[in-house]
Structure 1
Amino acid sequence: MEEPAIEEGDNHRDVEVAPALISVHPDHKFIVVSIGSDLRVFDLQGGCSVTLVDDSSGPLHKDSIRAIRFGAEGKLFVSAGDDKLVKIWNANSWHCISTVCSEKRVSAVAISKDGLFVCFADKFGVVWALNLDGFDENQVLVEKKAAPVLAHYCSIITSLEFSLDGRFIISADRDFKIRVSVFPKKPLDGAHEIQSFCLGHTEFVSCLAFVCAPDYPEGFLVSGSGDSTVRLWDITSGSLLDTCEVGSQAGFLESNGREEEHYSAVIDLCTTPDGTLVAVAIQSLQGILLLNCDLSAKSLSIAKVVSITGGSFIPTSLGTASCAEFLWMVTGVSTLHGFDSHSLARVRVISGFRIGSPDSVEHEPTMLEDDEIPGGEKLLEKLQGSVSIENKVFSAAAEAVKMAMCNLLIKKQYSADKREFRKRTRNDKKIKQ
């Protein structure tokens, strides 16, 4: 039998760039963008940029940020990434109230619905929890340590979400699994009870989100994957309710007579508060795919594609608020080799992302021009650094993100000799001098 091609992971470190991320305050008060190690915040109500205050010495983050998240009530904000630092911010004063050191690089974060726990996942597949009991908006938290609560066996965790009622914590990984764990009353003692596994994806699970409606307050889970599908789940039973193939909408191209693998991975998902729409960012789609979600029929269907014109814009992250009709998106990467551009991020907004059918003229989703975006030029200058950015920069950035995602999440195949060599040279096996 022919041996699988060996992918030398160490040779691709130079393309492991971090994609730009965006997070929207639940009440549409703030927009946060991270690019590389830079965290940028804009106050929509005040119409001005925000200065972050961190009393610890050194930069806010020392390496690429991989996860950002507002709490459900908007009081807390968390940022974490490759520098192994988890920073918890007061989302009113934008003071850093606590910095936690992780043992490994951080890949995902989540905040419990009651705001009492911050959970984060590392590259080794462990989910940690930090108790925020005693959080005071006017004080800095005393130093606290995180405790491990659950683990995926040596598999990178790509996404963390709490269920809408706060009963479960859902974790997804690069080995195609979605685990639903009961979030215990004492999380620091561990989350040992598994409610279900949602199994069906055939490639890494990249993102998770919940959809709900008045008739279905507990909601259902939607997931995106490198297998070019979006799937709908009942997390209580782990049942797969529906699968929507989205790869064909991404302009799938053929290369050397065959389709290029992993070209249309789902990058991110975002849902409307009423659960009728799911916005999907796809790795090769210059636009946003909108899916209809019929919770009564427990089905997903393609509604339309909202194309993004005026340059090569392939979103790397999506965000929306529970009270607004805007879908925010960003594209860009951290430092890109070969380019001297000081701004590698671009922000765009779709209006009409709200309650109602996307086929209704009244609620027709529309891509806003730069001068129509909430916050206008001031916001763009803060979040992306410049309004005018060369198109070739984003073409290169889109390719870099694609390569980085493959290198990070696609499991590599090694020969027997290579496996033995890697075992002998593992960092935890080296004898400290």
Structure 2
Amino acid sequence: MKETNTVKTESNNRNKFVIRNLIYDQTEKDNNVVTINKVQGLLKDGLELQDITLKSVHRKETRGPHPGIVIVETNSYDDKSKIMKNKRKLKTVKKYENIYIDNDQSYETRNLQASFRTVLREMGKEKDYKIELLRLGVWNARGWSLKTNDNSQFRKLVLEYSNCDVFAVTETFLRRDENLEINGFKFYGNNRKNLNRNAIRGSGGVGLLVKLDLLDNFDCDILSSEYEGVLWIKLNSKVNDVCFCIAVCYLPPAESTRSLESDVFFQNLLKDIYTYQNMGKIMICGDFNSRVGYNLDYIEGVDLIKPRTVVDATENHQGDVFINFLCDVNFAMLNGRFNDSDFTCISGSGRSVVDYICVPYEDTESILDFKIMSMSDLIAEIGYVPEKNTRSFSFIL
């Protein structure tokens, strides 16, 4: 999750990226050319890119022991795409193996996080900062191969690009007790247990990839994996009373051979929310195959909630049940309530909104940002085109 004005600042950040852990020396303080030369050297020697033109280079000051991040802007989006595509090469060069390149955050997000750090430092709780904010993403991956191949490589790049603390995945296609093992993350899954004996691959399944860095500050436990298509985890802070309860869900389409009774699905989810609501902050996300059209997820004139922008006017039965569920538990979908309203599924049969992140009404104001990224934009950002056609389920964070 990001800040509410992502769309406004997105164009400003489109050609920008940040470099972390680039060694600093005092000559940079009064001479930015030194920093520029370091960045150009990294691009040439670390990424093997000779023709990148930089528009601006600026190192942020830091008072801590680590070098300040370097914010770089290229003259063109194509140049930035080349950099993002080749950044993995840094791990193979001894001089640059501890350096990371990421997309730049918006100005407002950076300032907001800096403000949090300042306040917490004054309170003597700087160590608690990282656990006050959580970045959650969700994606229907349509299968995540356990083999080292094009499928798994592309999905790992999406995971890396997201920079999420918790990355929710629907339709993992993992079988029974299969488990994803990805550097820097721990996987919690609820795989579909009952598969057709003639099936050539798994189907369904949900999971959550939790950053190991986050687990330095949190204990993570599975609250429930009782129902097919639903997984709950609880993240409990090790240093204060912050707690997050997160559910990732997958409700198959009504016409699917593996369809679930939507009324029962949402009734079970409602029971879970009532069970866990006093533990901490609750978030539910996933692919619900529910099209809600213009239906309201709140009671007009009663609930004080910001109206949402609608891009998908179509409704289906699962969408009607989903809306009733949200009203029953006083939850609002984030889709359409920020400046980034878009479809979440784009395929040959059309466009739709079926993937959501939802939070209690009172928590909508605490969301810093919400963003939907189409598969075509995502492929352009990470600079990697998968060999096989990937159905365009957008990525939400």
Q: Please report the TM-score for the alignment, with normalisation by the length of structure 1.
A: 0.27
Look at both structures and tell me which one has the larger radius of gyration over its CA atoms: 2
Higher strand share: 1
Higher helix share: 2
